[in-house]
């Protein structure tokens, strides 16, 4: 069982690499297609169904600057798989180099508990939780662009900021029950 | 349940009336269908199928009955491809609800009852009569009520449905049916329907079943109509609307409506009323299309009754509206109000709370269904319909000059799951229309979702969001200045929440602080992007004038993180705008001081604000005019050695008006104009008294008005150059 570590390799000049982990392997393909077109930095996209990554590719794998877990909220399996994969990630990644991206958050048949579970997962790990629209090309492009914004920071390509700083600004917060109640009172 | 048992053929006022008409319409439709058939060479299978279903005998077995199977398949095919005509709906509904061939075909037929244009109300009433017979299983009853709710907007007239309100009401005792029946009743209720015995029944259910949202909704509507009957208080507002129970029809209906919208009308074989069809494009169920303004009461006999009502649909002109203002009957669907400017005028002046309650309910329901609980994962989102709907909504809000509370509630929920690109212009515009949010809620409702989107999106989103928040601030301040004029101290900005003046000031302060945070971090992340800077300066353009322009005694200084990037910007526009903003700050602060002296009232602009302003002003003058930068005590302080090591000659003058990177090219241009024969440029020669004056004149002719105002009001130019 190899554990992925953020600082085990040297970075390449003006390059950033991202690892997209998705159980269903559909949305990650679309995202990767958009992300590799980025011009300002050389983006390397690695795809995985789950972690751990196979050990035999270890030597020619670049340093992974950002790990993105793509979760389809309509599938319980997708969430479970992401949860299982998290165990194979070094602690260093949780200092701003992990983020979650969920799809189908506006689906009618989405159970409320799963949404809460995902939010709890992300906030427990102090990671950002991004929502994405995977059905439309515009939605995919936008999701890819947002990931690139985070990736460039995580790879150190943006001066004056660090991955931990950005992650701190954007990490998911779960409202306490009391706040939730107030919220309902106010806007229902 | 005793009263509900009316066999369809007994003489009972409304139901017999409607059932006979429905029979007539069925037979007429068949006659016409036959006529049409003669015209077409091959017999249309759907006509034959409908004939079969209208004539089939009771007790015919359905298992192994090929004729039945074929006919039903034909109907289903037509239903799913282009929808059923009103006549076909009548025939099939009658067939299904009468259980002539048992429950199995009944459910199957109900599932394919997709109207192409409208649903005749007679058919629905007749079906309710069959419901009252009580032979249907509960599951089928639920299915039927769900179907009625789904096609409710397409029922051509609702007055007969209102007439059987009592029968429908009796179903609330059935536990499984209750949520759906309550929803249906909510849609049908009028003031006359609210009776003491009904209120009692609902309250009894309420105590038995607990706080069910559907009961509370219905009760709250009753309370609006007859506050004296319902004593229950609804202090915390009710959680969600009626559940999303469109059942299996909605997707199919949307598909049909999409298709028929492009089809030539004559493609529908059995549809007769071309007039209806002309309107059919607008009569789609999809919430995004505004329903046509139709009257609840269609027959004229109602007017002879003691209570005279005039349906809004019959009002043609503004004069008529004024004459009948007290008699207006609201339409069956409140959504249709959005489409008519006369109706909006009415809504604007009407005092009746029920109108707003109903339109809020309709809007909240539609927005939630379309954007938060999408059946298909949101594939068709961002379509033209959605854009048009939201734009119509915005123009309505602009017209009424107030936001709907349901839109606000929807927006807060939507922001939490927004990806930042879907319908961006519309959502941002709606956001800028949000009424004043209490200061304690700003961080939870706005900051949390927006900050994450802001920091993880590209610079264009950042600009859009800052612009939207600027719009929000302007709206709040405008409301305040309007209401403050009307009414002395307390500002009653919203009927639902009274905002005191101090509370309002706290909210504004919180919003400005929030945008300040976004601006600071945004500029840092984007490396002081000049487009972003421009939008941020727009915002501070509003902020600096709060006291003078809007009469609110609040001055919030521009943060350092925006001041310095703007002052050292590479483009002269930013510097010019900063100068303008600083000048406005000065005017506001002096006016505040003056007012303080005149009225003697304690003004809550702290000394710190004045100090901060003076600090900025001194720095700006030193930097641009006096060529004295990097002084000890400044915000920007560099050690002497470091400055010497940098090797910049005369570093103290490197941001003066001649050397500032933004104005450098102007200085060189001026130098060329002054001394065209000189080869080597020596900017120091501009700093002589006479040339300096000319140089300033030259800069002012380039359109730097902000800079001119700043220099004229802060520096005595008669004295000397730098």
Largest separation between any pair of C-alpha atoms in chain A: 56
**Can you name the residues that pair with A17 across neighbouring β-strands?**
A44
Distance, CA of B610 to CA of B592 (rounded, Å):
11
Q: Residue A144's pLDDT is what? A: 93
Cβ neighbours around B527 below 10 Å, total: 14
Domain ranges of chain B: 2-157, 348-418, 435-604, 640-714
Render pLDDT for A18-73 as a digit per residue (tens, 0 to 9).
999 998 888 999 999 999 998 888 999 999 988 888 888 888 888 899 999 999 98
Using CA atoms of B94, B97, B102, B104 in order, give the dihedral in degrees to the nearest 10.
100
Q: Residue B366's pLDDT is what? A: 81
Distance, CA of B478 to CA of B465 (rounded, Å):
20
Chain A CB contacts of B441 below 8 Å:
182, 186
Render pLDDT for B559-590 as a digit per residue (tens, 0 to 9).
999 999 999 999 999 999 999 999 999 999 99
Q: In which residue are the tokens 């509507």 written?
A: B221
Distance, CA of A180 to CA of A186 (rounded, Å):
10
Which residue does chain B place closest to A74, by CA atoms? B377
Give helix then strand counts, H and E, for chain A: 6, 5
Q: Residue B488's pLDDT is what? A: 46
The complex's ipTM?
0.91
Using CA atoms of B452, B458, B459, B464 in order, give the dihedral in degrees to the nearest 10.
-70
- The answer to whether B229 faces chain A, any CB pair under 8 Å, is no
How close A182 comes to chain B (CA, Å)? 9
Q: Residue B351's pLDDT is what? A: 66
The residue among B80, B468, B474 whose CA lies nearest residue B248 is B80
Q: In which residue are the tokens 């005694």 written?
A: B553
Tell me if the bond preceding B551 is cis, omega within 30° of 0.
no
**Can you name the residues that pair with A42 across neighbouring β-strands?**
A15
Distance, CA of B430 to CA of B185 (rounded, Å):
31
Distance, CA of A69 to CA of B121 (rounded, Å):
52
Q: Do B444 and A158 touch (CB under 8 A)?
A: no
Which residue does chain A place closest to B239, by CA atoms? A188
Which residues contact residue B643 at a Cβ distance below 8 angstroms, ignoring those fewer than 6 apart?
Answer: B630, B651
pLDDT < 70 regions, chain B: 1-43, 233-248, 259-311, 313, 331-333, 351-352, 375-382, 484-499, 600-604, 717-722
Query: CA of B93: how far to CAs of A139, B107, B120, B148, in Å?
Result: 42, 11, 11, 11
Q: Residue B303's pLDDT is what? A: 41
Residue A20 lies in a domain: yes
Q: Residue B26's pLDDT is what? A: 55
How close A48 comes to chain B (CA, Å)? 23
Percent of chain A with pLDDT strictly greater than 90: 32
Please measure the distance between the N-terminal and C-terminal CA atoms of chain A and give it in whole angstroms. Answer: 48
Residue numbers of A between 86 and 145 with CB closer than 8 Å to B: 104-109, 128-133, 135-136, 138-139, 141-143, 145
Q: Residue A181's pLDDT is what? A: 55
How close A78 comes to chain B (CA, Å)? 16
At B129, list the tokens: 């009569």
Interface-testing mutation among B421, B438, B527, with chain A (most A C-beta atoms within 10 A): B421
At B35, list the tokens: 């006529």
Residue A4 lies in a domain: no
The residue among B214, B135, B129, B224 whose CA lies nearest residue B172 is B214
Q: Percent helix, strand and coil across chain A, each rounded to 5?
A: 45, 20, 40
Count structural domains, chain A: 1
The residue among B511, B615, B513 whose CA lies nearest residue B564 is B615
Residue A10 lies in a domain: no
CATH number at residue A26: 3.40.50.300
Three-state SS for A33?
helix
Give helix then strand counts, H and E, for chain B: 33, 2
Which residues contact residue B441 at a Cβ distance below 8 angstroms, ignoring those fewer than 6 apart?
Answer: A182, A186
Chain A CB contacts of B374 below 8 Å:
106-108
Residue A8 lies in a domain: no
Task: Find the domain containing A137 and state its range.
Answer: 15-187
Q: What phi and psi values does residue B119 have, to the nearest 5 degrees? A: -110, 120
Which residue does chain B place closest to A186, by CA atoms? B237
At A112, list the tokens: 């409320």
Using CA atoms of A161, A163, A166, A172 in order, give the dihedral in degrees to the nearest 10.
-170
């Amino acid at each position: 069982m190899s554990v992925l570590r953020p600082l085990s390799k040297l970075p390449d000049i003006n390059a950033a690499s991202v690892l997209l982990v998705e159980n269903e392997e559909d949305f990650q393909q679309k995202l990767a297609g958009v992300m590799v077109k980025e011009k300002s930095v050389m983006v390397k996209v690695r795809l995985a169904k789950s972690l751990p990554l196979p050990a035999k590719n270890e030597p020619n794998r670049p340093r992974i600057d950002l790990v993105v877990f793509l979760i389809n909220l309509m599938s319980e399996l997708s969430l479970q798989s992401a949860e299982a994969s998290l165990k194979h990630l070094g602690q260093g990644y949780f200092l701003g180099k992990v983020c979650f991206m969920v799809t189908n958050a506006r689906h009618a048949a989405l159970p409320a508990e799963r949404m809460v579970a995902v939010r709890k997962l992300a906030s427990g790990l102090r990671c950002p939780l991004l929502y994405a629209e995977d059905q439309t090309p515009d939605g995919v492009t936008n999701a890819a662009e947002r990931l690139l914004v985070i990736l460039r920071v995580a790879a150190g390509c943006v001066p004056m900021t660090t991955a931990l700083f950005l992650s701190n600004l954007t990490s998911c917060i779960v409202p306490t029950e009391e706040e939730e109640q107030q919220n309902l009172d106010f806007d229902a | 349940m005793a009263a509900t048992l009316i066999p369809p053929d007994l003489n009972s006022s409304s139901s017999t009336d409607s059932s006979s008409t429905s029979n007539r319409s069925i037979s007429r439709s068949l006659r016409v269908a036959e006529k049409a058939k003669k015209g077409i060479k091959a017999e249309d299978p759907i006509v034959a199928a409908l004939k079969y279903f209208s004539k089939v005998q009771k007790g015919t077995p359905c298992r192994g009955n090929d004729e039945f199977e074929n006919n039903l398949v034909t109907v289903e095919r037509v239903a799913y491809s282009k929808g059923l005509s009103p006549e076909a709906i009548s025939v099939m509904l009658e067939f299904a609800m009468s259980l002539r061939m048992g429950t199995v075909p009944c459910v199957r037929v109900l599932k394919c009852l997709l109207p192409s244009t409208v649903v005749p109300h007679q058919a629905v009433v007749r079906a309710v009569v069959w419901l009252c017979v009580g032979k249907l299983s509960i599951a089928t009853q639920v299915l039927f009520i769900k179907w009625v709710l789904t096609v409710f907007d397409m029922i051509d007239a609702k007055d007969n449905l209102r007439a059987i309100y009592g029968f429908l009401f009796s179903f609330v005792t059935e536990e499984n049916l209750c949520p759906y029946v309550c929803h249906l009743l909510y849609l049908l209720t009028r003031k006359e329907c609210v009776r003491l015995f009904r209120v009692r029944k609902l309250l009894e259910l309420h105590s038995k079943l607990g706080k069910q949202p559907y009961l509370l909704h219905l009760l709250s509507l009753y309370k609006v109509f007859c506050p004296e009957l319902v004593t229950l208080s609804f202090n915390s507002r009710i959680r969600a609307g009626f559940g999303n129970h469109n059942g299996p029809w909605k997707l199919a209906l949307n598909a049909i409506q999409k298709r028929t919208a492009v089809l030539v009308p004559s493609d529908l074989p059995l549809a007769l009323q071309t007039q209806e069809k002309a309107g059919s494009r607008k009569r789609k169920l999809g919430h995004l299309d505004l329903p046509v303004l139709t009257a609840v009461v269609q027959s004229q006999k109602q007017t002879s009754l003691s209570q005279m009502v005039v349906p809004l649909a019959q009002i043609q002109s503004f004069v008529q509206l004024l004459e009948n203002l007290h008699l207006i009957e609201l339409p069956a669907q409140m959504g249709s109000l959005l489409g008519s400017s006369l109706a909006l005028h009415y809504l604007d002046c009407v005092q009746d709370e029920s109108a707003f309650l109903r339109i809020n309910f309709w809007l909240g329901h539609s927005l939630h269904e379309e954007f938060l609980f999408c059946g298909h994962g949101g594939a068709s989102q961002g379509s033209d319909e959605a854009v048009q709907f939201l734009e119509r909504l915005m123009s309505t809000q602009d017209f009424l000059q107030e936001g709907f509370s349901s839109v606000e509630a929807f927006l807060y929920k939507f922001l939490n799951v927004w990806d930042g690109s879907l319908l961006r212009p519309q959502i941002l515009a709606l956001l800028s229309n949000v009424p004043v949010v209490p200061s304690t809620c700003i961080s939870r409702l706005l900051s949390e979702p927006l900050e994450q989107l802001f920091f993880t999106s590209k610079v264009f989103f950042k600009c859009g969001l800052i612009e939207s928040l600027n719009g929000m601030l302007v709206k709040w301040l405008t409301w305040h200045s309007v209401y403050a004029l009307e009414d002395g101290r307390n500002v009653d900005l919203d009927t639902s929440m009274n905002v005191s003046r101090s509370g309002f000031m706290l909210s504004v302060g919180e919003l400005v602080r929030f945008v300040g945070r976004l601006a600071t971090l945004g500029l840092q992340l984007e490396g002081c992007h000049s487009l972003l800077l421009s939008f941020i300066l727009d915002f501070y353009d509003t902020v600096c004038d709060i006291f003078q322009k809007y009469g609110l005694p609040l001055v919030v200084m521009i943060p350092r993180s925006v001041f310095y990037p703007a002052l050292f910007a590479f483009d002269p526009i930013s510097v010019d705008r900063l100068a303008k903003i600083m000048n406005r700050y000065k005017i506001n602060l002096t006016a505040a001081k003056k007012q303080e002296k005149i009225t003697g009232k304690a003004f809550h602009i702290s000394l710190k604000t004045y100090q901060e302003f003076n600090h900025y002003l001194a720095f700006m003058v030193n930097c641009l005019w006096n060529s004295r930068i990097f002084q000890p005590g400044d915000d920007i302080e560099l050690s002497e050695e470091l400055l010497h090591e940098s090797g910049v000659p005369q570093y103290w003058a490197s941001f003066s008006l001649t050397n500032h990177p933004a104005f450098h090219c102007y200085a060189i241009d001026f130098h060329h104009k002054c001394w065209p024969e000189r080869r080597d440029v020596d900017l120091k020669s501009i700093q002589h008294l006479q040339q300096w004056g000319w140089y300033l004149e030259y800069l002012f002719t380039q359109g730097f008005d902000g800079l001119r105002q700043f220099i004229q009001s802060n520096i005595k130019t008669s004295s000397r150059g730098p």
